[in-house]
Structure 1
Amino acid sequence: METEVTQINLYKDGDAWCALIGDDIQSGTCGFGQTKSDALRALAISLNLNSTPAIIEPNTFRKD
């Protein structure tokens, strides 16, 4: 079984955090959120939506 390593760039973009796989937002896959965690969750959603950027809004996830 082969393992692939993918680099995720995590940076502040205006008022939001961006989690990006690829060279830039236009050609890569990304997610945005108010926190680093939200941006990473949005990136995971984007990967499942065939690279459509996702945005996690505050209070989207329940905290049980």
Structure 2
Amino acid sequence: MPTLESFFAPQDNIALENEAAEQEAHLIAEVEETFMKLIEIREAKFMDMMDAREKKYRALLN
């Protein structure tokens, strides 16, 4: 029984593999960028929380 690879010439397989590798690299870059944005948002929210807590305790001490 013929396989999917047997329908393509070797150069077609290489082209498909290269395209798949490029798409994978692009998707990985997008995921990394999204992850970094989420980390920045999380850090900003944490700092806001810490600032609010510090203001609260300073108000209690004064």
Structure with more of its chain in strand, by fraction: 1
Larger gyration radius, structure 1 or structure 2 = 2
Structure with more of its chain in helix, by fraction: 2
Higher relative contact order (CA 8 A, sep 6+): 1
TM-score by length of 1: 0.30
TM-score by length of 2: 0.31
